[in-house]
Chains A and B, each alone.
Chain A
């Protein structure tokens, strides 16, 4: 049972960090539906680096770097070229899925390094996740930079007029977002599940994307959602712990996805939206073209 709780917290950490990245991007008005692709890239390249060099540090750094690069690419397509953000995000996801399948398959199998030591019985990334959430919350809601980010996401035209560079702010956010997602992928492949397999992120990126919608773009609520889904994922893997013999283990695997779906529907009802005032950033998904 204790093992189960620890694994749940580990899984929640990964959901939190990936979704935090997406949240930062969305608050600035940039939707990236390719979270899964960035995570796959971070996970696979981090894994390969760590297994060939023997250094965890290099693996994480490379994963963060590739995440930042993919964020930059998404920024280039959706900010500079002003393209459809969904098309670009889809492109990043399929690129990640396709290319990492090819790049990673020679390395299929376990990592072959000693496990990352735990701190107070928990993964060190758990504390990192908490710290990052606190930082993101603080920056977004208590600092000048956060105000800039939010105003760019709500109304870029007004933001630009009041002297904020929409392009710069958005680039800053998408690159940071990509780094978070890359890091989340690396935590998945180096700490949580250090065995490379075909398409092994298994939809976590898409659940993280949905979590951002659940969180009503608030990092603190996001943690709650991540904890829920982290433990749900663990239940679906080990149903015998809580409810033995209730359903086939394959049916259990559908549960996290079904709950995501149900939550998403619930959040979208008018009842919920009027009750909680869940409003997305006004300019989310819209390209901004500077006048003149």
Chain B
């Protein structure tokens, strides 16, 4: 492929080193922020002031930082839920639905153990917390596995399936928490009943223990993908399913497995946001806001190029930026949805930058016989 006449040439990358990928990703983020400045300019706001407000609130503020950290845990879980199927060449955009189902399971456990209204004394809180975590993960996993199973068995389009599951889960939550649903708040405010105070998990700087779980899972996932036979099979399946099948990789169990594990992580995010983050402890009325934030997981996953360790700083950055975006929206009097707009701009910039992960731009000298010789010099 040639652009211009002899001076600029595109070369397909054979190998992309981690550092090169990271520098492309950083460049993509910077370009996205530059593009996003337009939105601030159109709103009559100096972009530098706006970014300063965003970053200082998100990362250097006693109120903002814990929110950022909690958002970070949520995003990291959603990102990992996206990454694992992505490595197998599959698109899990059902983090939202898995997150909803995970939260429903948590409140199902509470309802089942009789924690609605009164507090049973004979159950140890630690045990209930364990049960809630397990329930959120198992239910999220099973919900995710639906898409994986049908992908493997019938080769249905997993994007449509997970999206339909998202909408189904969305209305299920509405059913459960509104208008006489089983989890309805006695006050009838369109939200679920509150979790008993004794079940609130210990927090460190207002961040619950789920941060360690999320970080642990990111490391485990990295290890799984890089160092185990299963991880190798997943990657092989992602690169070429037909070839992988000839090599003995099962075309049903791999999709099921990646969606099962991914769904578990997204389900855990449900426990994290609605039963562990200080100040919430119920399925909030605006649960769709949290659900839609899960789509940031797609962006974090793509920008970290499917590397779970790289996704840790990325999720932290984007967690902070979404929190800061919401903050400047109120502070600078912008209209609703600055954080979602930022998500959109980041995503489309990233799509454009996919090109640079695959190609490099080479300046070549037309006088020389071999245009690549200069690079070798």
- State the A residues within 8 Å of B (CB): 33, 73, 77, 81, 83-84, 86-88, 90-92, 94-99, 101-103, 105-106, 198-199, 202-203, 206, 209-210, 213, 248, 250-251, 253-254, 257-258, 260-261, 264-265, 268-269, 289
Whether A102 contacts B336 in the complex (CB less than 8 A), given A97-B344, A261-B165, comes out as yes
Task: List, in ascending order, chain A residues with CB within 8 A of B338's CB.
Answer: 102
Question: How near does chain B come to A45, taking the closest CB pair, in angstroms?
Answer: 14
Q: Which of B174, B340, B342 contacts A250 (CB 8 A)?
A: B174
Partner-A contacts on B (CB < 8 A): 1, 39, 91, 93, 150, 154-157, 159-161, 163-165, 167-168, 171-172, 174-175, 178-179, 181, 288, 292, 295, 298-299, 302, 335-338, 340-345, 347-348, 350-352, 354-355, 358
Expressed in whole angstroms, the minimum distance between the Cβ of B197 and any Cβ of chain A is 29
Cα A251 to Cα B160 with chains together (Å): 20
A87–B347 Cα distance when bound, in Å, is: 9
Are B164 and A86 touching (Cβ within 8 A)? Answer: no
Of A77, A90, A213, A265, the contact of B298 (CB 8 Å cutoff): A90
Q: How far is the CB of B183 from chain A (nearest CB, A)?
A: 12
Count, A-B residue pairs, CB within 8 A: 140
A95 x B348 contact (CB < 8 A): yes
B-side binding surface: helix, strand, loop or mixed? helix
> Do most interface residues of chain A lie in helix, strand or loop, or is the interface mixed?
helix
A77-B352, A102-B341, A248-B179 known; A95-B335 Cβ under 8 A = no
Task: Report how far A33 CA is from B167 CA in the complex, Å.
Answer: 16
| A258-B168 in contact given A102-B340, A102-B341 (Cβ < 8 Å) | yes
Expressed in whole angstroms, the minimum distance between the Cβ of B55 and any Cβ of chain A is: 20
CA distance A144 to B87 in the complex (A): 42
Measured between beta carbons, the chain A residues less than 8 angstroms from B295 are 94, 97
Q: Given A77-B351, A98-B341, list of 13 further CB < 8 A pairs?
A: A86-B159, A95-B348, A99-B344, A102-B336, A103-B341, A105-B335, A248-B175, A257-B168, A260-B160, A264-B160, A264-B161, A268-B155, A269-B154
Contact between A97 and B348 (Cβ–Cβ < 8 Å)? no
A86 — which chain B residues lie within 8 A by C-beta?
A: 91, 159
Report B343 CB to chain A, min CB distance, Å: 4
In Å, the complex CA distance between A104 and B165 comes to 27
> Looking at the complex, which one of B164, B288, B336 makes contact with A261 (CB distance below 8 Å)?
B164
Q: Is the Cβ of B172 less than 8 Å from the Cβ of A265?
A: no
CA A19 to CA B354, docked complex, whole Å: 27
Asked if A257 contacts B340 (CB within 8 A), the reply is no
